[in-house]
Amino acid sequence: MKRITQLGLAAAVALLAGCSLQEEPYGFNSTTNFYKTEADANAALVYAYAILPEIEYYSRNFILITELPTENITLKPDAGASNFEFDRLAVRPDNPELTTAWRYAYIGVNRANAVIANVPGITEMSDASRNQLVGEAHFLRALHYFNIVRLFGTAPVHTTPVTSLDQTSSARATMQEIYALITDDLKKSIELTDAVRRDGRANKVAAWGLLAKVDLTLASGKATNSPGYDFVPNADALYAEAKTYAGNVLTNSGSYGLDPSLKAIFDVDKKNGPEHIFDVATDRSGLSEGNYSKLPLMFIPYIDGAVFKLADSTSVRSGYNHFVTEPALYNSFAADDKRKTELIPSRVYVGNKETVLSITGYSRPFTRKYLDPKQVGEQTSANTPVLRYSDVLLLYAEACGPTAEGYAAVNRIRTRAGLANLQPGLSVTAFRDAILQERAWELAFEGNRLFDLRRTHKMEEVLVQKYGKTIQPDNAYFFATPTRETDLNPNL
């Protein structure tokens, strides 16, 4: 879905930055002349979706803040200091990318709140259409709060549109309260939406999948004593619930499934592939950054400023070489793992000259998950995965544990990658550790690894003890509330 702006909405146009109003409302002055027709309702929902592909959210910043702290990527030597704070897990509260992450998630919350508050009152539309739109808004609000709680832990909660400054001084909600809202939103989304695929939009299948991830986060957080999850009453019950919701995706989702081709999953011009449950997409034909993306260029190495080719003859323009693949991730793959050999190219060709990219060099093997061979100048299309079928399949395996169902699920992933089945007879702990590693390989560069390590209480074990990274304790499991927000809101 292309980013759409300047819709001139009323309450939805009041942009919330956590605890402060960021932009003055424009266009219509009140809801009295909006939210009257089905067209108004659809415009409001489009506006709610339009925050996702901003460069300050899923088209760049979200990947930066979730991938740099892990063993997946590091930075080119002359990258900005604020970026390196994430790479070194020494993020200060005044870090601009941290502030942006908080701000844009809350802008998304406010836009979803506007739909939830106003669309139910529109009578000039069918019940089915009204329910679908409101259900999608509940999904979006849940996604934003899920990002907030996993990044920051405690944070303010707003469930109605913020339209004035006196509404922006909320106190923190507990993690328990935030997760309760997320769960309730996703259950409402499941109730209200259908399973029809609509380009760029959420549906019942996406809500099932995201709720499975929420439940598994809570279950694993409790089971591993990860900081912040002591409020969870029963890990086993949540593992069982996660299995149910993930199972719904696997058995009742119609056209969704594993794509037999790894490269096809990340073909930016291939819409509605079986793997895609919910993506955030931008299009190279947009008029300004945010309408189009530069995220692929952040990963592509600089090869003498040239256009180069990959081994399969895919044409690639030299990029910024900003996000650099870490040896820790690259060397952890089996040599014949297709997720390495097909998705992290290490040989490039400029004319007839072959260049082998060293994993310890300046220009390294890079992910082709965000590649756009048809880019126009610096304008690229990009799909940022939020929820893929393989993600849900691994959630299901983890929830099942070392049962026949759990092994069958993970082995589907391994078979596609060209690997042998997972070692049988593992204990529950060893099996779930193996699933965590499988997720690291399968979902690399997609914004999952930091959250997986946090929820399983493995930040120190993996990043420090295994890979030798340095972590400041205050950054390990939650980032600090941005200084800008605590300065503006005395209740924080």
How confident is the model at residue 253, as a pLDDT? 66
Mean pLDDT along residues 206-214:
98
Q: How confident is the model at residue 199 (pLDDT cuts 50, 70, 90)?
A: confident
- Per DSSP, 173 falls in state B
How confident is the model at residue 252, as a pLDDT? 82
- pLDDT exceeds cutoff 60 at 166: yes
Q: Which two tokens stand for residue 480?
A: 């600090």
User: Which phi and psi angles does 308 have, rounded to 5°?
Assistant: -125, 170
Mean pLDDT along residues 462-480:
94
Identify the residue with better confidence: 491 or 27.
491
How confident is the model at residue 31, as a pLDDT? 58
Residue 32 is which amino acid? T
Q: Could you read off the pLDDT of 298-310 as tens digits, one per residue?
A: 999 999 878 999 9
Q: Cα dihedral sign for 347, 348, 352, 355?
A: negative
d(CA 412, CA 19) in angstroms, rounded, equals 45
3-class DSSP assignment, residue 106: helix
d(CA 48, CA 63) in angstroms, rounded, equals 20
Q: Which two tokens stand for residue 51?
A: 């925050």
Q: Which residues pair with 376 in a beta bridge?
A: 379
**Would strands 73-75 and 323-325 be described as parallel, antiparallel, or unpaired?**
antiparallel
3-class DSSP assignment, residue 426: coil
Identify the residue with better confidence: 7 or 437.
437
The model carries a pTM of 0.93
d(CA 234, CA 22) in angstroms, rounded, equals 40
Q: Which two tokens stand for residue 41?
A: 């309702």
3-class DSSP assignment, residue 236: helix
Q: Could you read off the pLDDT of 31-50 as tens digits, one per residue?
A: 567 899 999 999 999 999 99
> What's the fold here for domain 1-193+470-492?
1.25.40
Mean pLDDT along residues 405-412:
98
- pLDDT exceeds cutoff 60 at 18: no
- Spatial CA neighbour of 282 closest among 371, 380, 375: 380
From residue 257, give the alpha-carbon distance in Å to each of 152, 250, 299, 309, 393: 33, 7, 27, 30, 9
Cβ atoms within 10 Å of 408's Cβ, excluding its own: 14
Domain layout of the chain by residue ranges: 1-193+470-492, 280-383
Specify burial of residue 465 (Cβ count, 10 A radius: 0-12, 13-18, 19+): exposed
How confident is the model at residue 270, as a pLDDT? 85
Mean pLDDT along residues 247-258:
90
Using a pLDDT cut of 90, give the percent of the chain over it: 84
Q: Which two tokens stand for residue 429?
A: 């702990």
Place of tokens 């292309």: 2
Q: Could you read off the pLDDT of 338-382 as tens digits, one per residue?
A: 999 999 999 999 988 999 999 999 999 999 999 999 999 999 999
- Spatial CA neighbour of 442 closest among 220, 262, 267: 262
Place of tokens 């997760």: 179
How confident is the model at residue 116, as a pLDDT? 98
Q: Could you read off the pLDDT of 137-160 as tens digits, one per residue?
A: 999 999 999 999 999 999 999 999
